[in-house]
């Protein structure tokens, strides 16, 4: 058990947590980030994408409703301009179908707002995203090892119990690969895994535009997350611009709204750069959200508003400690407990 989990257990007593929270005040907006809700424990896709079971998400919302002031993205700028304000915001990345089927009904039940950052290409042409395809290829292949020495030294052995580690190594290599290298890595993996006909259909993987419009009409905020979810900083200026303005154009066409908010794919400090910020400015984006921990404060740069990951392996104690004492549990760069965040 990690140090943070142990400390969070010590803080399980609500009275103690309340005393500490009053004695050690924090200021700003704690912006939580989710990807998927439900049970991913047997999925052939990237299991790290599940942020909470339905039951855990329900309990988290109930806790936030009672103990926090949850605001929507439209209220973040004014909240940050006021001294001493303390708020929580809820965000989801990518556009998975379970966001609509499982998370959205719970948000409505608790009457809480959330924001959904959509990679529009997945909605327009449903396909497996690179992270889910990498996980699926490694989990379903019948070959005993993979050799991708250009990106990862040594053979990748696929013995029982080792596939999760291989998936993680491949995802890191993919995220670090510049330009077309990432696509070449995935092509090599497809070839070696020889899954051809095993490729799972992607029906019911993503929301559709009707669902997204329904959420937008009922108090949820819709933001941009590019078209194809590349790591922007690894792409040329022209590609970055196409990913950002293309996403904005699809949101405008389908929802009749401007892309005021944007979340960087992967969201680590090196996943976006000065060129990205220029493209966002040209597209009229008001706030852009990163994903490596920290509390949003009035000093947060407009195009690097911090968010923290919620992970399915997180116990209730830790979630509550995070929400009450984020200055200790949601520090910038080390993200959260035990590096369980998927960083997508
Ligand atoms: Zn994402």
* 106-160 confidence digits (pLDDT tens): 999 999 999 999 999 999 999 999 999 999 999 999 999 999 999 999 899 998 8
Residues with CB under 5 Å of ion ligand 1 are: 93-94, 265, 344
What is the Å distance from ligand 1's center to 230 Cα?
A: 9
For the residues 214-238, what does the mean pLDDT come to?
A: 97
Long-range (24+ apart) CB contacts under 8 A made by 123-128 are 123/95, 123/206, 123/207, 123/208, 123/209, 123/212, 123/250, 124/250, 126/202, 126/203, 126/205, 126/206, 127/202, 128/45, 128/199, 128/200, 128/202, 128/205
CA distance 84 to 81: 9
141 in a structural domain: yes
Q: How far is CA 218 from the centre of its chain?
A: 22
C-alpha of residue 97 to centroid of ligand 1, in Å = 14
Give the global pTM: 0.91
pLDDT for 325: 86
Residues 36 and 101 in one domain: yes
Same domain, 228 and 105: yes
* Domain boundary, last residue among 170, 198, 226: 198
User: Which residues are 37's β-sheet partners?
Assistant: 52
Check whether 20 has a pLDDT greater than 90: no
Q: What is the mean pLDDT of residues 266-286?
A: 97
Same domain assignment for residues 270 and 310: yes
Query: Which residue range forms the structural domain that includes residue 163?
Result: 130-198
Q: Does 332 lie in the same domain as 266?
A: yes
Distance 256 CA to ligand 1 centre (A): 23
One domain, residues 163 and 176:
yes
Q: How far apart are CA 257 and CA 195, in angstroms?
A: 41
Q: Residue 223 has what pLDDT?
A: 98
- Among residues 157, 181, 198, the one where a domain terminates is 198
Q: Average pLDDT in the 74-99 region? A: 95
State the total domains in the chain: 2
Ligand 1 centre from 228 Cα, in Å?
A: 10
* Ligand 1 center–CA 24 separation, angstroms: 33
Judge if 53 and 66 occupy the same domain: yes
Mean pLDDT check: name the lowest of 93-102, 159-168, 300-309: 159-168
- pLDDT greater than 60 at residue 337: no
Question: What pLDDT was estimated at residue 126?
Answer: 92
pLDDT surpasses 70 at 336: no
Span 315-331, mean pLDDT? Answer: 87
Same domain, 28 and 159: no
Give a yes or no: residue 153 inside a domain.
yes
pLDDT range class, residue 178, cuts 50, 70, 90: confident
Does residue 82 lie within any of the structural domains? yes
State in Å: Cα 314 to ligand 1 middle: 20
Q: What's the confidence (pLDDT) of residue 7?
A: 73
> What per-residue confidence (pLDDT) applies to 6?
72
Q: How far is the centre of ligand 1, averaged over its atoms, from the C-alpha of 344 (Å)?
A: 4
């Amino acid at each position: 058990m990690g140090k943070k989990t142990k400390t969070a257990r010590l803080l399980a007593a609500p009275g103690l947590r309340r005393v500490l929270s009053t004695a050690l005040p924090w200021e700003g907006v704690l912006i939580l980030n989710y990807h998927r809700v439900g049970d991913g424990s047997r999925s052939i896709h990237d299991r790290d994408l599940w942020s909470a079971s339905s039951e855990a998400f329900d309990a988290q919302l109930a806790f936030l409703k009672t103990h926090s002031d949850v605001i929507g993205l439209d209220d973040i700028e004014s909240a940050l301009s006021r001294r001493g304000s303390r708020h929580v915001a809820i965000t989801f990345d990518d556009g998975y179908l379970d966001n609509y089927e499982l998370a959205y009904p719970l948000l409505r039940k608790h009457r809480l707002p959330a924001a959904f950052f959509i990679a529009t290409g997945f909605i327009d042409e449903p396909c497996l995203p690179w992270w889910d395809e990498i996980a699926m290829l490694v989990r379903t292949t019948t070959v005993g090892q993979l050799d991708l020495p250009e990106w990862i030294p040594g053979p990748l052995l696929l013995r029982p119990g080792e596939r999760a580690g291989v998936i993680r190594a491949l995802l890191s290599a993919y995220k670090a690969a510049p330009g077309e290298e990432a696509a070449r890595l995935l092509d090599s993996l497809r070839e070696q895994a020889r899954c051809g006909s095993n490729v799972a259909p992607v029906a019911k993987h993503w929301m559709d535009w009707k669902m997204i419009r329904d959420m937008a009409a009922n108090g949820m905020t819709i933001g941009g997350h590019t078209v194809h979810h590349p790591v922007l900083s690894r792409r040329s200026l022209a590609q970055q611009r196409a990913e950002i303005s293309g996403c904005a154009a699809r949101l405008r066409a389908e929802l009749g709204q401007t892309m005021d908010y944007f979340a960087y794919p992967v969201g680590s400090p090196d996943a976006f750069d000065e060129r990205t910020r220029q493209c966002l400015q040209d597209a009229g984006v008001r706030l852009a959200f990163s994903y490596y921990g920290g509390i949003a404060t009035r000093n947060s740069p407009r195009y690097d508003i911090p968010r923290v990951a919620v992970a399915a392996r997180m116990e209730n104690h830790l979630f509550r400690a995070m929400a009450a004492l984020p200055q200790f549990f949601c520090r910038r760069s080390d993200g959260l407990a035990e590096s369980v965040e998927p960083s997508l």
